[in-house]
């Protein structure tokens, strides 16, 4: 998979690409990431990327020409999805991340200031994504969120691929609690069942805890699930 990022501040993204799963999956050839500076597609000596808004008002707008020029260069094979990061986009979810991870080429466009000239969205953007209902100063961090979330679901990204499927949201439930050694920390004990070595019981305990946790913290997620009477009883007790 190939991911290109078009940004005014690539230096925000670059260090994260050299760390952890993002680095490993690139080294292994599962993902190729390039971060480009929008100024590289300007034609004036000041490398101008923004301009005043028509109609007046505060704030600057990213000019269309450098973005169109970059899009033409980066999408030479014309198979890319152009994603614009914006608080007005569809809120990012784990199913969206998994669907995006199946694409061959994503180009992420990071806005700055008041945003981009609307014609960029009309002409080349194929999907608009928000990472939450708040406003960041630029799209770079949002692009990094998408890069990281996609990288970890790509085949071979995690040593134990199963673990990605047990994370929150992957089964429409939040993750169950986790413990590591010591079994007793100043009187705070790890649940007995986890020490038992009985795999079926451990699996059941984890599922029940995930149900309870979801009922308590994100009951909205349960609305989509068809729960058995036994599961409903657990949920109702946990609320
Ligand atoms: N005027 C824009 C609006 O109200 O929709 C906000 C512009 S914001 C200050 C600058 C840039 O940050 C946006 O163009 C976008 O690329 C990025 N951004 C801000 N919040 C975001 C969010 N929640 N999700 C994704 N991108 C975001």
Residues within a 6 A CB radius of ligand 1 = 85-88, 110-112, 114-115, 130-132, 134-139, 142
pLDDT value at residue 78: 87
Question: How many Å lie between the centroid of ligand 1 and the Cα of residue 104?
Answer: 25
**Tens digit of each residue's pLDDT (9 = 90 or more) over 142-166:** 999 999 999 999 998 987 555 666 7
Looking at the whole model, is its pTM more than 0.75?
A: yes
* Residue corresponding to tokens 């705070």: 188
**Tens digit of each residue's pLDDT (9 = 90 or more) over 37-74:** 999 999 999 999 999 999 999 999 999 999 999 999 99
Sign of the dihedral through C-alpha 153, 155, 156, 160: positive
User: Ligand 1, from 67, 116, 120, 139: best to mutate by most atoms within 8 Å of Cβ?
Assistant: 139
User: Ligand 1, from 8, 121, 135: best to mutate by most atoms within 8 Å of Cβ?
Assistant: 135
Question: How many Å lie between the centroid of ligand 1 and the Cα of residue 6?
Answer: 14
pLDDT value at residue 168: 80
Question: How many Å lie between the centroid of ligand 1 and the Cα of residue 70?
Answer: 20
User: Ligand 1, from 85, 108, 133, 147: best to mutate by most atoms within 8 Å of Cβ?
Assistant: 85
Which percentage of the chain shows pLDDT scores above 70? 97
Question: How many Å lie between the centroid of ligand 1 and the Cα of residue 77?
Answer: 28
């Amino acid at each position: 998979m190939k991911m290109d990022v078009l940004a005014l501040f690539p230096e925000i993204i670059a260090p994260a690409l050299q760390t952890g799963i993002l680095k490993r999956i690139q080294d292994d050839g599962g993902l190729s990431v390039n971060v480009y500076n929008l100024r590289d597609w300007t034609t004036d000596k000041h490398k101008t990327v923004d301009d005043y808004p028509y109609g007046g008002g505060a704030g600057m707008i990213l000019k269309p020409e450098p973005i169109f020029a970059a899009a033409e260069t980066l999408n030479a094979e014309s198979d890319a999805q152009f994603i614009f990061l914006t608080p007005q986009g569809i809120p990012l979810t784990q199913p969206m991340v998994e669907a995006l991870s199946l694409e061959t080429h994503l180009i992420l466009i990071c806005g700055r200031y008041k945003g981009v000239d609307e014609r960029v969205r009309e002409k080349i953007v194929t999907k608009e994504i928000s990472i939450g209902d708040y406003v960041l100063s630029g799209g770079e961090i949002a692009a990094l969120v998408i890069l990281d979330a996609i990288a970890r679901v790509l085949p071979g990204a995690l040593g134990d691929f199963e673990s990605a499927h047990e994370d929150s949201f992957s089964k429409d439930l939040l993750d169950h609690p986790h413990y590591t050694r010591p079994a007793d920390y100043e009187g705070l004990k790890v649940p007995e069942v986890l020490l038992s070595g009985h795999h079926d019981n451990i699996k059941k305990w984890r599922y029940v805890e995930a149900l309870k946790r979801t009922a308590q913290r994100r009951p909205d997620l349960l609305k989509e699930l068809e729960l058995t009477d036994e599961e409903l009883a657990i949920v109702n007790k946990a609320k």
